[in-house]
Amino acid sequence: MTYEMEKEILQQPQVLTNLINRYITKENKISFNLPEGIKKLTFIASGSSYHCAGMVAKIFREVANIKASCEYASEFYISKNIFIERQTLYIFISQSGETLDTVESLKKVKADGGKTLCITNCKNSSLWKMCDYKILSEAGEEKSIASTKALIAQLLCMYLVMLEFLDSKGHNISQELKDIKKLPLFVKDFLADTSQIQNAAQKLAKTPNAVILGAKYYYSVAKEGALKIKETSYIDANAYPQGEFLHGHMAVLNNKPLLIAIAVEETKESMEIILSRIFKDYTPQLITISNEDSIFPNGLNIKINTKNNIYNLFASVITFQLLAFKTAIALGRNVDKPLGLKKVVK
């Protein structure tokens, strides 16, 4: 049987290639129309788009030295006071461009005179028509309920926005652009062998709940992974910042969940310390996602074969897409149309 979710996961290298060809010129410039004088970014989104924003907001702060924050659209639009700032760019992210909470949030910002940018997969949608600045994520139609290729397209668009801000500040981004042009091939190679993820899915399918740990950008990856697993397999998966997990949350391990730990190079050392503390008092089943062969003796390891931080980020997101898909199939779920779910649009 052919599944739309699987097809859309496998289309991601081409989606990335299309975006790179669209937005990086022959002169090695990024062709976005962005406002000048911006000191801060506020991302407003829902679901997977919000998690994507969470990944990139930390990159903006740490790499580009730009203040960036995220708001759930559903919380933002019901807030009484939103305090619009003139040097803030409000970025609205939605696959459809019609997500109800996000559209209503945009109306509030527009009413108070805020500068607005949308990143959407649908030209001429409500977001597209109403925003001052626009970026088409151009992932093509996404038929599966669980967002995959649209999310990856958003992630690349936002990363390119970050590089454009760096370029405007006089930073040399030539190496970053060189790396990003090779991203589609890396993703294609990564998708060519998913046997480790298949083994992990067999373990996950046998547990009613799971805990996912990540730090920095990877906490948002963990949240996105938890959402994907819930959406497709109905397993109760929950994400925690890896350090915060030790402050009381660790007691959930008494319920014997499967533990998934994202331990790529920049967070590996602290994750090893945390896992050592966990295994002193608990013996959970463990899956690690790492760019090394193994980081802990008691676990099944999914290896991402790269030291490039951005490649790691994209591959980690795709790992959870595949893990959720393969787990759902193992459980016999309707992976493209999960029970009770639909995309939230107007």
Could you report the per-residue pLDDT of 286-334, keeping only the tens digit for each? 999 998 887 777 789 999 999 999 999 999 999 999 999 999 999 999 9
pLDDT of residue 239: 95
Q: How confident is the model at residue 265 (pLDDT cuts 50, 70, 90)?
A: confident
CA distances from 102 to 10, 179, 310 (A): 28, 32, 27
Of 159, 132, 114, 172, the residue nearest 16 (C-alpha): 159
Provide the greatest CA pair distance for the chain: 57
**Range 165-180 average pLDDT:** 93
pLDDT of residue 343: 59
Asked whether residue 277 carries a pLDDT value surpassing 80, the answer given is yes
What's the chain's average pLDDT?
92
CB 106 within 8 A of CB 116: yes
Task: Find where tokens 């490039």 sit.
Answer: 308
pLDDT of residue 342: 74
C-alpha dihedral sign at 256, 305, 264, 121: negative
Asked whether residue 54 carries a pLDDT value surpassing 80, the answer given is yes
How far apart are the two ends of the chain, measured CA to CA in Å?
32
Strands of 73-182, DSSP E: 88-94, 115-120, 133-136
Asked whether residue 141 carries a pLDDT value surpassing 70, the answer given is yes
Cα–Cα dist 58/208, whole Å: 32
Task: Find where tokens 């919000």 sit.
Answer: 50
Cα–Cα dist 329/323, whole Å: 10
Cα–Cα dist 281/285, whole Å: 13
Phi/psi for 44 (5° steps) reads -130, 120
pLDDT of residue 346: 43
Which of residues 336 and 157 earns the better pLDDT score? 157
pLDDT of residue 345: 47
Residue 23 tokens, joined: 């937005």
Domain 193-330 has CATH 3.40.50.10490: yes
Fold category of 4-188 in CATH? Rossmann fold (3.40.50)
Asked whether residue 118 carries a pLDDT value surpassing 90, the answer given is yes
pLDDT of residue 51: 97
Q: 24: which DSSP letter? A: B
**Range 104-133 average pLDDT:** 94
